[in-house]
Amino acid sequence: MPNDKNQQVTDSNSTFDVAKIREDFPILNQLVNSYPLAYLDNAATTHKPQCVIDCLSAFYQTINANIHRGVHTLSMRATDAFEASRQTLQRYINAQSSKEIVFTRGTTEAINLVAHSYGNQNVKAGDEIIISEMEHHANIVPWQLLCQRTGACLKIIPINHKGELDLSKFNDLFSKRTKLVAIVYVSNSLGTINPIDDIIHVAHQHNVPVLVDGTQAGPHLKIDVQALSCDFLTLSAHKMYGPTGVGALYAKYHLLEKMPPYQAGGEMINYVSLEKSDYAPPPTRFEAGTMPIASVVAWSKGIDYIQNIGITNIANYEQALLNYATEKISQLENIKIYGEADQKTSILAFNLGNIHAHDVGTICDQHGVAIRTGHHCTMPIMQHFQVAATARASFAFYNTFTEIDQLITALQHAEEIFG
């Protein structure tokens, strides 16, 4: 088994010291049911390094003020910190301008923003929206609601037995009525990394814009929106070692300029009278009310933390964890793995014989191992594989090979109890 304290990665110029990294995450240093916590539920939410926690605390202790609305010192400091975070995210995904970054309350709100603001304006009765069978509910239900409002319909890219998109049928889904493709970059249930650049290329050949759900890609993959040329991209801070309750929508500015407001209230206006209102330009137009200011500011520290380690180093280490976990779990009797794509990131979904996934999760918890069980907000995937639920272990750069061994021991215990 590799040595957890000094993981070598393929980049010869750096050494991945997971023990040192773990020192930055105070929540990991605890016992659960008398076992060391092995937190393997990172696809649900990631833990926060001390720098993010300190930033949240420092904001409330030293800056706390509303933004864009005051001439006093604290308001100006808060505004500067908020806008600096916008620029940090712009650089992280290589957007052309910080004006293309809209802060939201998460990916779900970002997708709903597009479905309402862009969708209501551009989708009519008889039009079509293309999504895939592997989407999170957050990238299905908003489009279903749009179709109900407008009389449009959804077309679906199917998946194969390996949990990959069947792109042989993708081109045939397009027609003159296709108005949007909304596709996940990385499956939260299967770990599949979709060939998003190829998907965007095909869609653009049909003059169809593309929304990319980048939620699971954000902490694992290098994202360059200019190279991809995606039209929309969504992210969530809490998947990227930042606070909960904040996310972002990237959109090409010429699209944002034409989109009406999604929510109305303070801040998103230039002028209001009792007769009419004039709306601010993007991104302010889409940031109604008081934003989660402290969380936005602290998110930038999570992004900085990722960049300080290096996304390539992270990907290499997490791939090593996934390979090790897959090899170990495959040695168990009656194991069934879901999602065996040629290109996937650090998510391992499985069922253990006839043991219900929730029972597997309960036994794991008794051994201090936190995994996710259920449908993972991807019921169509469960229907495809004809299961009610799966157990899912998902890895981050602070996880260790020892924690994977702890998982395997828990699964062996589950076999003994229910076998």
Q: What pLDDT does 13 receive?
A: 36
Q: Tens of pLDDT along the chain (419 residues)?
A: 444 434 444 333 346 899 999 999 999 999 999 999 999 999 999 999 999 999 999 999 999 999 998 899 999 999 999 999 999 999 999 999 999 999 999 999 999 999 999 999 999 999 999 999 999 999 999 999 999 999 999 999 999 999 999 999 999 999 999 999 999 999 999 999 999 999 999 999 999 999 999 999 999 999 999 999 999 999 999 999 999 999 999 999 999 999 999 999 998 999 999 999 999 999 999 999 999 999 999 999 999 999 999 999 999 999 999 999 999 999 999 999 999 999 999 999 999 999 999 999 999 999 999 999 999 999 999 999 999 999 999 999 999 999 999 999 999 999 999 97
Any idea which architecture 7-47+310-418 has in CATH? Alpha-Beta Complex (3.90)
Is 377 labeled as catalytic in the residue annotation? Answer: yes
CATH class as words, domain 53-307: alpha beta
Q: What pLDDT does 15 receive?
A: 67
Q: What pLDDT does 16 receive?
A: 87
Q: What pLDDT does 335 receive?
A: 97
In angstroms, the CA 407 to CA 391 distance is 12
Q: What pLDDT does 70 receive?
A: 85
Q: Map out the domains of the chain as residue ranges.
A: 7-47+310-418, 53-307
Q: What pLDDT does 11 receive?
A: 36
Can you give the pTM of this predicted structure? 0.95
The catalytic position among 55, 147, 364, 377 is 377
